[in-house]
Amino acid sequence: MSVQIEAVRPATARRTPTHNLTRTSGIGLGVTMIWFSLLVLIPLAAVVATAAAGGWDGFWRAITNEQTAAAIRVTVTAAFAVTLVNIVIGTMISWVLVRDRFPGKGLLELVIDIPFALPTIVAGLVLLSLYGNDSPLGLHFANTKWSIYLAFLFVTLPFIVRTVQPVLEELDQEIEEAAASLGASRFTTFRRIILPALVPAIAAGAALSFARAVGEYGSLVLLSGNLPFESEVTSVRILSAIENDNRATAASIATLLLLISLLVIVVLDIVQRRVARRG
């Protein structure tokens, strides 16, 4: 009996380490959490706390105000639509940049990043000069709801391109060639081999695209006209609430956008996990 007890003790005494942080790693983690808290967690908590200060009734009145509800509906609808377009077009652009060789490819690589570097108010001026009332193309989108889609498409163009492109560059084309030699069609190869590898990057780019569109303001100031029930977006409603010294309403609208963005991120994460698993 004693022999058995002695034999069991070493096995039960073994414990898996809960962490492997060294002193340097611990300091790095502490700095990271402090920095992240100061820039993200604490400001977000302050906004939510301000929205909650007026209670549920105040929050509900703020987001169901007729003009505010219209702005939220316009903004979220446009952001969803633009994100879907970016998923398709952004992936296609990435494919062309990685798999094809053509004159001017380097210039195209630079142009794609312009929305990243260009101040949004300048982007609005550029779009207004081409699609405003004096459009040389005869396309008059200024002061209409279509100006929102146009501005969102401009500022979100690079996100999916730049998240998908490096993943596509790392894919081993020999696997695709092997699948083709075994009789797999191009569509089957894309669906079973390429797409599962790209889905995480596409989902990440889509989340960034949606979040960027929902919060866009600068490029719309000159182009959309901020017409209530037509081309007014939530960022304008938030600014109007702050200018009228109604911080609770502004925080309520911001909190709703935060919840919508968080929901979109969670849904995209679930989708990419399932597609990757089935692939």
Q: Give the pLDDT confidence score for residue 152 in this predicted structure.
A: 92
Q: Which of 84-98, 123-137, 138-152, 263-277 has the lowest mean pLDDT?
A: 263-277
pLDDT for position 16: 53
The pTM of the whole model exceeds 0.95 = no
Nearest CA to 258 out of 215, 226, 205, 217 is that of: 215
Q: Distance between CA atoms of 215 and 244, rounded to whole angstroms?
A: 20
pLDDT > 90 in the chain, percent: 14
In whole angstroms, what is the distance from residue 143 CA to residue 220 CA? 9
What angle, rounded to 10 degrees, do the helices at 120-131 and 146-170 form?
120
CA distances from 130 to 177, 206, 217, 226, 275 (A): 45, 27, 19, 19, 40
Count, in order, helices (H) and strands (E) of the chain. Answer: 14, 0
Q: What is the pLDDT of residues 77-107, one digit of tens each?
A: 999 999 999 999 999 999 998 888 888 888 8
CA distance 213 to 216: 5
Confidence of residue 19 (pLDDT cuts 50, 70, 90): low
Q: Which domains does the chain have, with CATH numbers?
A: 54-278 (1.10.3720.10)
Measured distance CA(252)–CA(233) in Å, rounded: 15
